[in-house]
Structure 1
Amino acid sequence: MEICREEKMGRRKASCYCPKLETVSWRDCSGEKVVTTEDLTAQELLKSKETEFAVADVTITYAQGDQIRKCRKCKTAFDEKFLIPRVWWTTLAKRSNGYFGYQDILDSDGTRTGTISWVRFMVKRVSKILDDHDVDEIKYHWVKLNAVTRWNASNNRTDIILFDHPQFAHLNGDSILRDINPRELGDPFWVYPSMVEEIAQLHDVTIWETRNLLRDFELRRAFYRFNYKYLHEIPRHMTHVNEMVYVTESILTSIQKHHGHFLATDKAVDAPPKMFFLNIQSRLDSLHNMVTNLRHRAESNNARIQNEMALTYNDAARIDSSAMRAISLIGLLFLPAAFVAAIFSTSFFNFDAPTGIWKLSSHFWMYWAVAVPLTVVTVVSWFFGPVIMDKVMPQWRRWVE
């Protein structure tokens, strides 16, 4: 009885209460394209054979990565169905700012039976709002896309999982379904031009968002003159936007490299289909060129904000310099009189009020005997003191600084 109770508790603990996953299936039925939407559990994705998902040519599954990670049964089902690599589940991948991975599925003879690829994109969106005190404030949020793709060489079936950020994931899913070309399904990389195009368009939006922040600052330079905190926020967000463009460009380079590897090692394709696959490479090349040009625009924005920062700090330095110049001028005006007053206030000079006669002490030479050498020592120490200290005690600068 005790064993049965433990087994029952174990089964109850292993039960999965995760919500069903939205899936979209695409199938080419004698030239007629059929698209079906189903809500299935992770176990149904793995075992069910009576769904459109099981017989489709292309499937897209929308899922939440964090939710799948927490459920052992769902994670196991995803691993078995889509062969998700172990590194994808790690904290390293979860915290990464982007990556692309590719792996061939091989049989015992080393023949490729399919492929697995996984990609992560991130884009930062920014906007300017007014806070509760009617002060300009920059708000931001991150848009993330994690995708895992499994391709089967025997029937050219492609299974795609789009994780996280549901709105953007659905936008990518719609784009992928829109661009399906049945002649390209023999190339596992057919999904990436559509995906990268959506990412590139989003990068274009974010770069213009930061450009608008910059342009607003340029037009209202006098208003933001001493708002150093706001001036600091703009380049901070620009740095992240630029970083993500660089990462996307790096990811695209990796996709192109692995696609070239696939084309070079795929012995099953004949000449006509391979020309369709080369079109995929051409679209990737075109998108790479666009992303590179977006990076140049982002770099231009960064250079402009650096100029604005330099101008602002130079203006502040000029104002400080003007104040110091005024103080120095006042000091110069009073210095001669102060020097004369200090000299005549010494005991070397004696004024006899009854007779009105000034008397100069015969020891006045002592003043010059002390003042002149001390002045010479001070000037010499100022010019040659650091050089001597560097030779005698090299570490003295660290103590002073």
Structure 2
Amino acid sequence: MPHLTLIPRHRHFVDFGIDSPTLFLNEDRGRINELDENADRWLTDVGEKVVTTERLTAQDLLRNKETEFAVADVTITYAQGDQIRKCRKCKTAFDEKFLIPRVWWTTLAKRSNGYFGYQDILDSDGTRTGTISWVRFMVKRVSKILDAHDVDEIKYHWVKLNAVTRWNASNNRTDIILFDHPQFAHLNGDSILRDINPRELGDPFWVYPSMVEEIAQLHDVTIWETRNLLRDFELRRAFYRFNYKYLHEIPRHMTHVNEMVYVTESILTSIQKHHNHFLATDKAVDAPPRMFFLNIQSRLDSLHNMVTNLRHRAESNNARIQNEMALTYNDAARIDSSAMRAISLIGLLFLPAAFVAAIFSTSFFNFDAPTGIWKLSSHFWMYWAVAVPLTVVTVVSWFFGPVIMDKVMPQWRRWVE
């Protein structure tokens, strides 16, 4: 008879670095009652499905205390990794009970944008006695709000999930630890409980379709959130015409959203690869029919296809925002160009008159007011002798000056650029 143990976040879990209000315990109890009411669907095949909760400490885990937790087929533990890292006793308990890999505690894993790891637990003869797997997902949520000055502003927050699973081949027991984001961890825990199939418990990867499905749904939400930001900009382009800071914020967040979709797709590929490895090396005689395990792979394949399509949607959003940025900057350049053309036209209107006034103001011309007689100096040719060569030198320097400087003094650009 499958025996499921759900360990909720509770004040008595302070030794694990876990502290939460009683509200979550009440929510868990409501969930337990709901599962008990639906237990009939388990009676036909394998008997009654039992879900219980316990309060355990780090000492209880280290002493292997005989509890419901010790005999359960599936356990779900909620924890906060940062607080456990600070508690040596708690970290020791988790290491010894769940065989959490050393790399999981490192800063490298803590700062990573996502990963999946898998390891077989082997006896001295090289026979698989269990498996350990660990996964990290991250999703960026974005939304538009009004700041204190009623100006549009984009806010964001990260949703993270770290999970470690340990599977025991002798009794098909699965221990699941869900770290980090409390609400999302509980959502994943509920999904795992909802999707449990006793015939699949012999496959340590049975937990991942439920997790990946929740992640894929969250990616879908955040991709549409960025799409809504983009659509709002498209519809109100004139309003945001010169708000370049806001236009810069949209692709900045969209880059992170796209990155996380790519990472999730990569993680899912790794999960599928290691699941195929497990199927290829699983030689257990008393294992359930392999078709149930192949169904897990089929669900992973389907989710991979969905995530890939979400990536295409994210890429489409990115192409759209790049188009909007190009259009906005082109409009700004067109406005600047119009202003420059106006200034150039004014210059053209005044330039001939200014040129004539400059020439007649020189001493080459002399006007005698009493007699009204104009006199031109016989040395007026000197003006043209200087002006024409100087003009020629200026034009030649403009077109051929950089080429000549590159040959004469190759380092000159470093001084002027």
* Counterparts in 2 of 1:111 and 1:25: CA distance versus 1, 3 Å: farther
8 Å contact from structure 1 (residues 23, 53) kept in 2: no
SS at match of 1:385: helix
**What residue in structure 1 maps to residue 415 of structure 2?**
399
8 Å contact from structure 1 (residues 214, 305) kept in 2: yes
* Separation in structure 1 between the aligned mates of residue 44 and residue 124 of structure 2, nearest angstrom: 31
8 Å contact from structure 2 (residues 199, 288) kept in 1: no
Instruction: Give 1:48 shift.
Output: 4.0
Instruction: Give 1:362 shift.
Output: 0.9
Moved more, 57-66 or 126-135: 126-135
Instruction: Give 1:271 shift.
Output: 8.8
8 Å contact from structure 2 (residues 202, 288) kept in 1: no
* Counterparts in 2 of 1:194 and 1:106: CA distance versus 1, 3 Å: same
SS at match of 1:271: coil
* Separation in structure 2 between the aligned mates of residue 119 and residue 24 of structure 1, nearest angstrom: 33
Instruction: Give 1:39 shift.
Output: 2.2
Structure-1-length-normalised TM-score: 0.91
Instruction: Give 1:157 shift.
Output: 0.5
Instruction: Give 1:347 shift.
Output: 0.9
Moved more, 46-55 or 80-89: 46-55
Moved more, 48-57 or 328-337: 48-57
Instruction: Give 1:47 shift.
Output: 2.6
* Counterparts in 2 of 1:122 and 1:269: CA distance versus 1, 3 Å: farther
Unaligned runs of 5+ in 1: 1-21
* Separation in structure 2 between the aligned mates of residue 151 and residue 26 of structure 1, nearest angstrom: 22
SS at match of 2:170: coil
* Separation in structure 2 between the aligned mates of residue 32 and residue 49 of structure 1, nearest angstrom: 25
Instruction: Give 1:45 shift.
Output: 2.9
Instruction: Give 1:270 shift.
Output: 7.3
8 Å contact from structure 1 (residues 98, 122) kept in 2: yes
Instruction: Give 1:23 shift.
Output: 19
Matches of residues 18-37 of structure 1 in structure 2 within 5 Å? 30-37=46-53
* Counterparts in 2 of 1:249 and 1:172: CA distance versus 1, 3 Å: same
Moved more, 219-228 or 263-272: 263-272
Moved more, 354-363 or 238-247: 354-363
8 Å contact from structure 1 (residues 126, 206) kept in 2: yes
* Separation in structure 1 between the aligned mates of residue 193 and residue 79 of structure 2, nearest angstrom: 17
Runs of 4+ in 1 over 4 A off after TM superposition: 22-30, 269-272
8 Å contact from structure 1 (residues 115, 150) kept in 2: yes
8 Å contact from structure 1 (residues 242, 298) kept in 2: yes
Moved more, 264-273 or 362-371: 264-273
Instruction: Give 1:190 shift.
Output: 0.6
Q: Which of residues 328, 337, 354 in structure 1 aligns to 2:344?
A: 328
Instruction: Give 1:26 shift.
Output: 12
8 Å contact from structure 2 (residues 74, 175) kept in 1: yes
* Counterparts in 2 of 1:156 and 1:272: CA distance versus 1, 3 Å: closer
8 Å contact from structure 2 (residues 39, 49) kept in 1: no
* Counterparts in 2 of 1:104 and 1:171: CA distance versus 1, 3 Å: same
* Separation in structure 1 between the aligned mates of residue 375 and residue 348 of structure 2, nearest angstrom: 29
* Counterparts in 2 of 1:338 and 1:190: CA distance versus 1, 3 Å: same
8 Å contact from structure 1 (residues 99, 251) kept in 2: yes
Instruction: Give 1:151 shift.
Output: 0.5
Instruction: Give 1:25 shift.
Output: 18
**What residue in structure 2 maps to residue 194 of structure 1?**
210
Q: Which of residues 386, 389, 392 in structure 2 aligns to 1:370?
A: 386
* Separation in structure 2 between the aligned mates of residue 127 and residue 142 of structure 1, nearest angstrom: 12
* Counterparts in 2 of 1:269 and 1:343: CA distance versus 1, 3 Å: farther
* Separation in structure 1 between the aligned mates of residue 117 and residue 228 of structure 2, nearest angstrom: 35
SS at match of 1:40: coil
8 Å contact from structure 1 (residues 24, 38) kept in 2: no
* Separation in structure 1 between the aligned mates of residue 336 and residue 127 of structure 2, nearest angstrom: 74
* Separation in structure 1 between the aligned mates of residue 333 and residue 231 of structure 2, nearest angstrom: 23
Identity of matched residues, %: 96
SS at match of 1:132: coil
Please report the RMSD computed on the Cα atoms of aligned residues, expressed in angstroms: 2.6
* Counterparts in 2 of 1:228 and 1:266: CA distance versus 1, 3 Å: same
Unaligned runs of 5+ in 2: 1-37
Instruction: Give 1:24 shift.
Output: 20
8 Å contact from structure 1 (residues 184, 190) kept in 2: yes
8 Å contact from structure 1 (residues 24, 53) kept in 2: no
Aligned length: 380
Instruction: Give 1:272 shift.
Output: 6.3
Moved more, 193-202 or 128-137: 128-137
* Separation in structure 2 between the aligned mates of residue 24 and residue 40 of structure 1, nearest angstrom: 29
Instruction: Give 1:27 shift.
Output: 12
SS at match of 1:291: helix
Instruction: Give 1:127 shift.
Output: 0.9
Instruction: Give 1:30 shift.
Output: 4.6
Cα deviation digits, residues 214-253 of structure 1 (max 9, x gap) = 1111111111111111111111111111111011001001
